[in-house]
């Protein structure tokens, strides 16, 4: 009866339905409608009715239709759901259980259909892990989730930690595996127990994994011996603990506490280089000339007995002639002085022949017994930190060189400088600032080093910041390769084997060199696994930090408290700034910057914000702000400039 209906025919003509399909990502807006983003330049409107079929972040295929000269997207097929496994808060009403995903872009209340399968009586607001079991585009049913596990009760003080670890499917505790006796590796260990090795760490550190000893040679050169704790002497390759360590990849350092890669009994006791206790180590000795060159590199296994556990701040105070702390005897004092001298020599060498990062403070969360945030403090890296840092860099350069020469492989930290696909853009940006270079030169290690030294001499970090997006990411590789960021030809870490599985692997390779054994190159799947775990750990640390920052700064919302910040990002929506006192990231919407939105011109490529042709702000500018509000549910801190 509708076949020849004139109204229907007229409507079809208006819609001009086309049979073309497009694929893109769904982006939801606050008012219920959304957009299907095809790329940075093209998107299609999705009506509120059609948005009920999809979620923010879904990758879908849609048909495009025209109505009144406007293009609309109608979702047709799900390619990849945004939600699969996720965490959220329980919504309980009239004994019906739903879950609200913990995501700033989602506000859906998703019904749950298997609540009885989890042996826990959920209350409103509790945290849980769930997975999507139905999607309108895939199953022709409404959204529905399945509860997998209980995380923590509502408003638990430790929710930021447990929820975030569950979100990224990371472990909550150290491995619980019994340890065996020390392995017989047929290594002839040198007895260095009489030498004055010392450790320098944070005062609360228990897993001391490096000890240092330095002696002055008759010709004035310094001979440094770096002794590293040897967990591979207790963890057989292929054992249950080795498999667990490979899976974890790293000790997960989170605000307030850490979750070890190895059992605490091993990292904090059996292998920890505690003072006055005989410990097995893998060691490297190297002669450092007065010009900073490295000679006569030698790796060997040994026994040592640390003579002192020293703290960064106390050693720094003593070297700077402040405070009351004194070394316990003249031998320890002599070690500190020699290490300080070695540090200055190597810093000078790296400035001339490699690269040195700009010093940035570390931010430390002081957590109370109930998980509350007492304070967030900024800790500057002092001279004792640099002493240990320079010693570890020397040791890792030595490992990179020996592994390359003896095996031709290992686990290397590599960084290739500028991404070759973007290098011409970097050259163009430099030219606009009066620095003329060619792509071929800055693609080499020496050319990159030379450029970085020029950039470090600029009055601000603005140009450095602009060039950062043209650079490649650091990665790990089994093949030797340069690390442009450090300005070094080879760099293979082995100095943190109780915290990094890749360092355990390099320990075993170095031991094979010492014993003269043949050994296979690490499998590429291991590299992928370690890289992915590193990414997850960083995401977890950031997520917990964002949560704690929001909680801590909420008390400053709508007050006159002034914060000094640095602009780190500009976009069409506003600016992101970093609070220099504590490291938090805040957002400044454009409505707080200038009353007339159309007069604001944001140039993300140049990192500038202009009003009527005049630069108002640019990336790296330091400005004062007040906290306007804090959204605890989304962990967003909104700031307002003080003009």
> CA 635, CA 159: separation in Å to the nearest integer?
13
User: Which of 219, 195, 220, 214 is CA-nearest to residue 339?
Assistant: 214
Structure tokens at 342: 């070695």
SS3 508: helix
User: Which of 631, 551, 556 is CA-nearest to residue 587?
Assistant: 631
Structure tokens at 417: 């400088």
> CA 96, CA 87: separation in Å to the nearest integer?
18
> CA 378, CA 632: separation in Å to the nearest integer?
23
Helices marked H in 354-469: 383-406, 423-432, 439-442, 445-456, 462-468
Tell me the sheet residues that pair with 578.
Answer: 566, 585
- DSSP assignment of 570-593 equals E-SSEEEEEETTT--EEEEEGGGT
Catalytic residue, candidates 126, 210, 317, 621 = 210
> CA 105, CA 472: separation in Å to the nearest integer?
29
Catalytic residue, candidates 58, 207, 317, 546 = 207
Catalytic residue, candidates 44, 91, 312, 491 = 312
Residue 621 bears catalytic tag: no
Residue 201 bears catalytic tag: yes
Residue 210 bears catalytic tag: yes
CB of 510 closer than 8 Å to CB of 399:
yes
- DSSP assignment of 233-283 equals GTS-TTSHHHHHHHHH-B-EEETTEEE-SS-HIIIIIISS--TTSEEEEEE
Catalytic residue, candidates 28, 248, 499, 576 = 499
Helices marked H in 17-118: 48-51
Tell me the sheet residues that pair with 225.
Answer: 213, 285
Residue 207 bears catalytic tag: yes
Other CB atoms within 10 A of residue 440 CB: 10
Residue 535 bears catalytic tag: no
Catalytic residue, candidates 209, 543, 546, 621 = 209
Which is it for the CA torsion 54, 58, 64, 69, positive or negative? positive
CB of 65 closer than 8 Å to CB of 17:
yes
> CA 599, CA 612: separation in Å to the nearest integer?
6
User: Which of 389, 304, 400, 306 is CA-nearest to residue 350?
Assistant: 389
- DSSP assignment of 110-135 equals EEBS-GGGSSS---TT-EEEEEEEE-
Catalytic residue, candidates 126, 201, 230, 503 = 201
Structure tokens at 157: 């003080």
CB of 638 closer than 8 Å to CB of 586:
yes
Residue 499 bears catalytic tag: yes
- HSE value, Cβ hemisphere, 13 Å, CA-based, for 596: 6
Structure tokens at 38: 């095809």
SS3 139: helix
Q: Which residues are designated catalytic?
A: 201, 207, 209-210, 312, 499
């Amino acid at each position: 009866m509708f076949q020849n209906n004139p109204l229907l025919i007229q409507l079809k003509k208006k819609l001009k339905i086309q049979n073309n399909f497009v694929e893109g990502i769904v982006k939801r807006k606050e008012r219920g409608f959304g957009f299907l983003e095809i790329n940075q330049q093209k998107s299609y409107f999705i009506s509120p009715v059609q948005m009920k079929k999809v979620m923010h972040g879904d990758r879908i295929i849609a048909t495009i239709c025209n109505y009144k000269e406007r293009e609309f997207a109608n979702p047709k097929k799900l390619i990849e759901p945004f939600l699969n496994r996720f965490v959220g808060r329980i919504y309980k009403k009239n004994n019906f259980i739903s879950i609200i995903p913990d995501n700033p872009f989602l506000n859906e209340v998703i019904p749950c259909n298997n609540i009885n399968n989890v042996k826990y009586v959920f209350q409103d607001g509790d945290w849980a892990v769930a997975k999507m079991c139905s999607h309108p585009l895939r199953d022709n049913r409404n959204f529905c989730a399945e509860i997998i596990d209980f995380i923590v009760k509502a408003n638990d003080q430790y929710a930021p930690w447990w929820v975030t670890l569950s979100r990224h499917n990371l472990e909550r505790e150290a491995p619980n595996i019994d340890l065996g006796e020390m392995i017989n590796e047929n290594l002839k260990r040198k007895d260095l127990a009489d030498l004055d090795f010392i450790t320098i760490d944070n005062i609360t550190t228990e897993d001391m994994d490096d000890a240092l000893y330095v002696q002055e040679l008759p010709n004035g050169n310094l001979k440094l011996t770096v002794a590293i704790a040897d967990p591979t002497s207790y963890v057989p390759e292929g054992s249950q603990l080795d498999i667990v360590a490979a899976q974890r990849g790293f000790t997960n350092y989170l605000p307030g506490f850490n979750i070890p890669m190895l059992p605490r009994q091993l990292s904090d006791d059996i292998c920890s280089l505690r003072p006055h206790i005989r410990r097995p180590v893998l060691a490297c000795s190297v002669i450092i000339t007065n010009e900073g060159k490295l000679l006569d590199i030698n790796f060997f296994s040994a026994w040592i007995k640390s003579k002192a556990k020293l703290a960064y701040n106390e050693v720094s105070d003593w070297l700077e002639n402040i405070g009351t702390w004194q070394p316990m005897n003249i031998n320890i004092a002599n070690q500190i002085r020699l290490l300080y001298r070695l540090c200055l020599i190597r810093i000078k060498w790296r400035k001339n022949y490699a690269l040195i990062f700009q010093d940035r403070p570390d931010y430390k969360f002081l957590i109370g017994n109930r998980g509350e945030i007492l304070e967030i403090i900024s800790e500057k890296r002092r001279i004792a930190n640099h002493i240990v840092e320079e010693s570890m860099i020397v040791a890792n350069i030595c490992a990179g060189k020996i592994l390359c020469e003896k095996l031709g492989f290992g686990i290397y930290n590599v960084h290739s400088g500028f991404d070759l696909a973007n290098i011409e853009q970097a050259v163009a940006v430099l030219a606009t600032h009066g620095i003329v270079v060619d792509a071929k030169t800055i693609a080499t290690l020496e050319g990159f080093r030379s450029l970085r030294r020029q950039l470090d001499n600029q009055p601000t970090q603005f140009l450095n910041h602009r060039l950062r997006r043209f650079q490649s990411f650091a990665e790990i590789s089994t093949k030797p390769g340069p690390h442009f960021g450090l300005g070094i030809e080879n760099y293979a870490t082995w100095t943190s084997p109780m915290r990094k599985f890749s360092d355990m692997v390099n320990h075993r390779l170095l031991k094979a060199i010492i014993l003269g054994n043949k050994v296979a190159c690490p499998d590429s799947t291991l590299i992928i696994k370690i890289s992915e775990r590193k990414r997850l750990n960083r995401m977890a640390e950031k997520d917990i930090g964002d949560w704690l920052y929001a909680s801590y700064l909420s008390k400053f919302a709508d007050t006159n408290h002034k914060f000094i910040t640095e602009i780190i990002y500009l976009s069409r929506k506003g600016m992101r700034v970093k609070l220099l006192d504590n490291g938090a990231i805040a957002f400044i919407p454009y409505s707080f910057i200038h009353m007339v939105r159309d007069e604001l011109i944001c140039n993300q490529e140049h990192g500038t914000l202009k009003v009527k042709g005049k630069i108002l702000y640019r990336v790296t500018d330091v400005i004062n702000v007040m906290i306007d509000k804090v959204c605890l549910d989304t962990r967003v801190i909104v700031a307002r400039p003080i003009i």
